[in-house]
Amino acid sequence: MQFQTESNSTYTIPSGDHVVTMRNRKRMDLTSVKSIDRFDQEEFLVRTSQGVLQIRGEELRIVHLDVDKGLLTLEGTVSTLQYDEEDSGSRNFLHKLFG
């Protein structure tokens, strides 16, 4: 997979590698996305090849999603990124719901 940056440099990312690119805390591109477990304007729970990524912020929204390629682009104001292991991320989310 290849990405072109604003400076017209091209980077090749090996298939399956998880990459997070953020521009000015306003736009995020993610690779190796398996699924989106939950999302609203303040929080996204994204299952990646490296575990569950919790993204918190304001006015978060999906700009682009390609399920087949595992690509996700978000916009909004990002305040927090946190990874949890695959299983513990689900357990933490359910624990928040049911105490």
Is residue 12 scored above 60 in pLDDT? Answer: no
Is residue 9 scored above 60 in pLDDT? Answer: no
What sign results for the dihedral spanned by CA atoms 82, 59, 71, 86? positive
Please give the share of the chain, as a percent, with pLDDT higher than 90.
63
How confident is residue 17, by pLDDT bands cut at 50, 70 and 90? confident
The overall average pLDDT reported for the chain is: 82
Residue among 33, 31, 27, 35 nearest 12 (CA):
31
How confident is residue 86, by pLDDT bands cut at 50, 70 and 90? low
Tokens for 51, please give them. 């575990």
Tokens for 24, please give them. 């000015």
> Is there a contact between 2 and 11 (Cβ–Cβ < 8 Å)?
yes
